[in-house]
Structure 1
């Protein structure tokens, strides 16, 4: 039985990545994959975009951020989860959990000891999901989003 894996975004899979669509009630909470890829193209030094694939089927998209300066303190450099889009018909099957764990492994490999994520609070938001994975609120905000942190 195939297991999920992350694949680099290539000319062969970019359209499949762009076709990933979340549930309608989540559309205002996470940017479409095409926008994420445009941001990754504009910021290649910090963006780490990946397609989540199970067997030969794309099931989601993940984009990490690497070593960005955070806030006013130049010594505060962070890495973490920038975007997570799991296809509407694939949610609840463990792909999000897999993707976050795979990004955590990548960040550990790069020497990070913490992983950050931001999200818009609200009834359809991912706060419970991130909480179940061990993220804790930092008390900070990034624009209108709250900041969560996971010890690696």
Structure 2
């Protein structure tokens, strides 16, 4: 496995749009096309990336950096906005690679915590995030549990 992240460009747009989770997981994550539309309207905070392995699209992630969580300028957070690992590519370490890549980017920007939210329920990503060390922080956003991962000292 030699995964890497690629910035979304006209060259790989169709590959990014081809990434689809298993049908029973569609309730838990928006499709890539919605994420790219949101990245377009939030260009200062959204960080969309195609996950490839040997030039094969295996997933998509979108991170966010320094968003105004409370919308009053008192709390800024960074984290994983979306994670779509393609049907047939799950269970191969690509999700862990994505989370570790986002953690490295946040650390490089001076952050010490990585936030994510998830839907509960069968076929949802809760166990994946809990197994990576995320812990619910008691918040809910749009019906999803908010989790946080300590990613260590930025220095």
Q: Same fold (TM over 0.5)?
A: yes
The 5 Å alignment of 1:62-141 reads 62-71=61-70, 74-141=73-140
| Residue matched to 2:142 | 143
Map of 1:50-61 to 2, 5 A cutoff? 50-61=49-60
Aligned counterpart, 2:46: 47
The Cα shift of 1:75 comes to 1.8
Shift of 1:72: 5.5
Structure 1 residue runs of 5 or longer lacking an equivalent are none
SS in 2 for 1:134: coil
Count of aligned positions: 151
CA distance, structure 2, for counterparts of residue 126 and residue 82 of structure 1: 13
Give the structure-2-normalised TM-score: 0.95
**TM-score, reference length from structure 1:** 0.97
Match of 1:131, SS state, is helix
- 1-side partners of 2:94 and 2:71: how far apart? 35
User: 2:33 matched to 1:34?
Assistant: yes
2 CA distance for matches of 1:98 and 1:72? 31
